[in-house]
Every structure is written in C-alpha cells, then in structure tokens.
A and B are shown apart, each in its own frame.
Chain A
Amino acid sequence: MIQELWPPFDARLLLRRRKAYLRDLRQRAGLLPLRIAVLGGWTSEEVVNLLELFLLERGISPEFYQSDYNRYYEEAVLDPSSLEAFRPQIVYIHTASVNLRRYPPSSATESEFKAALRGEMERWEQIWSSLDSRLGCQLIQNNFDPVAGVLGNLDASSWGGRGHFVARMNIELAGHARANKRLLIHDLHGVATQLGRDQWAAPERWYSYKLVTTAQGSGALAYSLAALIGAVVGKSRKCLILDLDNTLWGGVIGDDGLEHIHLGRETPQGEAFTAFQEYCLELHRRGVLLAVCSKNEEEIARTGFQHPDSVLRLDHFAAICANWEPKSENIKAIAAQLNLGLDALVFVDDNPAERELIRAQLPEVAVPEVGSEVSRFADILNDGGYFEPVALSQEDLERGRLYATNAERHTMQARYADYGEYLQALEMTAEISPFRPAYLDRIAQLTNKTNQFNLTARRYNRAELEHMAADPQFLTFAGHLRDRFGDNGLVSVVIGRKDGRRLHLDLWLMSCRVLKRDMEAAMLDALVERASAAGIKEMIGYYQRTSKNDMVAEHYARLGFTRFAAEDPAGEASEWRLSLEEGYHPRNRYIRSEEISDV
C-alpha cells in the first residue's frame, strides 16, 4: 500500500506527483483491467486523474473514455456511437447540481415544484434508459451536491427552495437505484457535506475551468468513487481485525482486571468504547467478518467479552488470536484460518507502533491511521471505504452465522476416523440450477471475490451475468449446498459457452467455505446432465494460473478430464476435455440433489 493514497490524503500533493505515483503503481502485478466511460456534466479530467491513482491502489487498472465537456446528455441519448465503440464495463455519470436546469422559482407553488421535479427527472431517466438499453452495463450516477438559495432557512422546506428541490431530486434518484440494480448512486451530496462547502466547491475554478470542486474536493469525490467501483468488481475488504486493550475497551485487561476496564454507560470513556463495539457489531451484521489480534493471555482476553457491558460476544468473532507472538504472524494465521487473502483484511489498533509494523511487514493489509482516540475510530473506518458494499445479499446478512456453524462441522469431523463417513454424516443436499434473478447479486459477488478455487478468475459484473442468464448460447449453473448444520448458501458458479456440440467452461469457481465436500463432483454431474440434454458431446475446461489459484491446477484431472493442449512449460494455462459420448458415470457420492424450487 502507498499510505499517501489512503485518508487523510493531500489531493494537491497527489496531483503534483501523479506521474511518479503512476509509474510505481502500473508496475504492480495482477491488476484487474476495467473500462470506465465518464460522461461529464463538468470538467472531469482532474477527478479522473485522481480516480486512476486510487483505483490502481485498489488493484484495478482502469482504461478511461471521457465525453467532451458537458456532452453527457448528447452522448448518452443522441449520439452514443463512440461510447458504444469503447464497450465500457462501467459508465460513470459525472454530474452535479450545476447540471440541474429546472429549479422552481422562489415563489413556486406545490404544482410548479412538482412540474420542475418531473421535468428534471425525465431527462435523467432518459439518460439511464438509453444507456441501459444500448450498453446494458453498470451505471454509476452522482446524486446532487447541496446548493444555496435565497430563502434562508425557508429554503429547506418551501416549494421555492433550491435546497428542498435538490433534496427531493436525491430522493427520486434513490428510488430509481433501488428499483434498478444496474443503477448505483454515488453519494456526491454526502461527500460534499462531509467536506463542507468551502473545502468542496471553488467558484473561481468553476468560472475558469468549469470545475466544480477544489483539488481536495476532487480528491474526496474520486476516493469515494474508487471505493464504489472497487465494490462493483469485488475489491472490497472482508474482515476487520481488532486489537483489544484500548481499542475494544479502555484499559489493559491483564493489568487492570475485568472489573476495571472501561465499557458501558457510566463514564464518557466507557461510552465511547461501547459505541465503537456497537459499530463493529453493525459491520458484523452486514457481513463483515470480525477477528481479534491482541497481545494478551488468551484466557484473560476472552473474559473481556463477558463484561456485562460488552456489546460484542465471543461468537461474533470468526477468529481470535490472543498471545505474545508478533501481530504480523497472528494476522497471517487469521488470514489462513478464514481462507482470505491479506488484501481482504483491515487492522485496527490504537498503538501506532503496531500499526507501523504491520504496514511495513504486511503491506497488503489496510491499516487505517485511527489515532488513539476511540471516539474517532468509526468515522475513520467509514472514511476509508474499506468494506464498501454494492448491495446486501442474503449471504452477507448470514455470513457470521455461517462461520459459526463451520466450527460445529470441524468438531464433528474430529469424531470420524474416515473422511467419507464424515461426509456421509453431514447429510448434504445440493440445489444446482441456472442463474435465477433472485441470486444474481450473490453470483456477481462470488464471481468477483473468489480467488482460490477459481479456474480462470474471469470477472463478470451483475449486468453481464444477467445477460448470460438470458442468452441461450450459455449454460449457467449456480450451486447451493445445505447440510445438517444449516445452509452453506450459494457456493459454486459455472458458466458454459456453447459452440456447436462443444461446451467451453469459461468459468468454474467455488467458495472455499465448502472445500473437500465433493461439491465440485455434484456440479459436474449437473453440468453433464444439462449439457447432454442440450446435445453437447464434449466439454472443454480451462485453467489459467493466477497468483492465488494453485489449489485448482489439477481440478479437471481429478474430475477425469484429459489434458489436450500442448504442454506449456510454465504451467500457466492448460486445457482439458471430457467426452460425453463414452458414457458418463456420476462422480458425486455424498450429496443428494434437491428439487429446484421456483424463484
């Protein structure tokens, strides 16, 4: 990580040294290419320049298309040919309140206000529907930053109030985004408000360059947008690792004892720690994994969560490492235990020395500069945009419980000498179906963040997956696994592309949560069944090595495919075939297939 590219960054300094940063960042391995079209209602270059830095830092290598200045409507609706030729994966509509045309007059009546609202909304709806029908890709629309009218406080409530009008516009936008999964709102209003008017807007730059923002305003916009784009392509982080003493409670539990740590409503200090625990619990509830990494005796550390005012309980944590080993070793152990890459982790510790050490030793781990004041921790974590979600899937809401039931499975496994007996005893059932609308969010999420059990690591966004689900040229498979301990959720995705009597397996991935459960065999059985019914005679599987998917190098060999492409000496890529004409014997022995319910 380049610390200067994370909050609190100095956008003017980043712009000044941009080219040097770019040289460093572009040398990184494994960057994800992404084509982003920017339709500007105001000058976009400064924002795009900063966005490029922030995206590269998040592992994304963007290629940009920028519309001519203030041609966003024309390029979206009237003449989208050059935009179409660029084939964007994301279209970002870079507009702001300066692009609103129909403010109601300050003397406006209710009906004039509503007419202005309707007229304005029609124009934006036209833009989205045109882009949606022509490109079918992910749209990101800025909402509108605050404006000042001439009505003082009345501006917020009267039919002639500009502030009132902008607020209503933003509510309308939000409604459209809830109804249309391909439209995401970038909260420009929130970015501007948080910065404050004079830090956000620079009227002299508007008149000189048609730039709405100060340099720092452009930076805040670009940073927030980078977090959102990162989330769209699955680069959001997944696990928050927390120190204990003076991070989750005040004081040192080993020295002060359970009864003397600060927590609860009795003191201002205790209240601040409790509030931070509540914030962490909220993250847990929306699917961020929590872990502990603390220098402590484990026995004593655990007692902290028995404090009567502790909001967090032991079972909220997916992993607990409390010992005297270096924290870098413990963080690596947590990553291994949870099957996560280091780049999925965020580490919070009040001790600046520990933060510096982790930054130096594990540069992929995000270590926000939280300071030592717990009352600020939540805001600083929010500012970082580390856990940015695009949408909350059922999976996110249940993830904490999923990890808890995994612990029960481990206990049971220990009771069986034979692994096959264990699998039998799990009483697994699988539902393997084509992509269905209700699951598209989860499928997109899994497709973008699965790194280890992923044969080709191709990334598709929700719009692309939706398209493939409807296209008869593709056979799509989504596998859902249940067992006696509960529902593991949607855990495996395969995409087959028909080519005459052949089926090319462009994508095969599985969540590491269900490794070694025979789920891949169940998926193959389902694949063969549906492919045969579609007249397919041969399936072609591909393996493309990445920095993280060594575990599946022999996946197709294990399933009985034969390798046919010429050996490539580095073992970077291989191709495998399975004939369906020679009689297929089902491979899976432990998973019963379930009737597919209609969704």
Chain B
Amino acid sequence: MSDTLSRLQPIFRDVFDDPTLDILPGSDSSTVLGWDSLAHINLVSAIEQEFGIHFALGELEEMRNVGEMTDLIDRKCAAR
C-alpha cells in the first residue's frame, strides 16, 4: 500500500464511520456505501487538512475514485 493510500485509509474510516473499511485505488462511489456529494466534500476538506494542500477549482472534479485522489495528492505534494 502506498504511503498516500495508507494516510487516506483512516480518513475514509472516519468519514464513513466504518472501522473495517478497506479502500483500494479502484474504490469509488459505487463501491463505498454512502459516498455521496456531501461525503465527498467532507473527504476533500479532511484530505486538505491531512496533507496540508489546497485543491483548486478544476481539481475537485478530477477525483472520481481513490486512485485519482492519490495521484492528485502526490502531484500536489511534489509541487510544493
């Protein structure tokens, strides 16, 4: 598991209140129960806080699954 993915894991478990949830790069709103637009907003703000980054306008729409999230996070952290 990549470092980024392992840091995302507890965020997902908190937001969906499921201590057994295991996310994979392919996890998306069709496989994670309760991943609606509001949960997505919560995920985004928790990720910004955890990684100390800020997503720009177009980027918010780019993250349709966990893999796209980790890619974008890695890119933004590297650009810092």
Contacts and interface: CB of A to CB of B under 8 A. Distances in A.
Interface of A: 12-13, 15-20, 23, 45-46, 49, 204-205, 207-209, 211, 215
A46 B44 CA distance: 13
Given A17-B14, A23-B17, 4 more contacts: A15-B46, A19-B17, A45-B38, A204-B57
30 contacts: A12-B45, A12-B46, A12-B48, A13-B49, A15-B42, A15-B46, A16-B14, A16-B15, A16-B42, A16-B46, A16-B49, A17-B14, A19-B15, A19-B16, A19-B17, A20-B14, A20-B17, A45-B38, A46-B38, A46-B41, A49-B38, A204-B55, A204-B56, A204-B60, A205-B41, A207-B57, A208-B61, A209-B37, A211-B41, A215-B45
Nearest to B55: A204
A49 B38 CA distance: 10
Contacts, number: 41
A188 B14 CA distance: 30
Interface string B10-47: 01001111000000000000000000011001100110
Interface of B: 11, 14-17, 37-38, 41-42, 45-46, 48-49, 55-57, 60-61
A117 B60 CA distance: 37
A30 to B, nearest CB: 25
- Most B C-beta atoms less than 10 A away, residue of A23, A208, A209: A208
B17 A208 contact: no
Contacts of B49: 12-13, 16
Nearest to A49: B38
Nearest to B48: A12
Contacts of A207: 57
A92 B46 CA distance: 27
Contacts of A15: 42, 45-46
A13 B10 CA distance: 12
Contacts of B45: 12, 15-16, 215
B64 to A, nearest CB: 14
A204 B41 CA distance: 12
Contacts of A45: 38
A215 B43 CA distance: 12
Contact of B60 (A12, A18, A20, A208): A208
A46 B37 CA distance: 11
Contacts of B17: 19-20, 23
A208 B57 contact: yes
- Most B C-beta atoms less than 10 A away, residue of A16, A17, A204, A208: A16
Contacts of B48: 12
Contacts of B55: 204
B59 to A, nearest CB: 9
The 9 closest A-B pairs by CB, nearest first: A19-B17, A16-B46, A215-B45, A12-B49, A16-B14, A204-B57, A208-B60, A12-B45, A15-B42
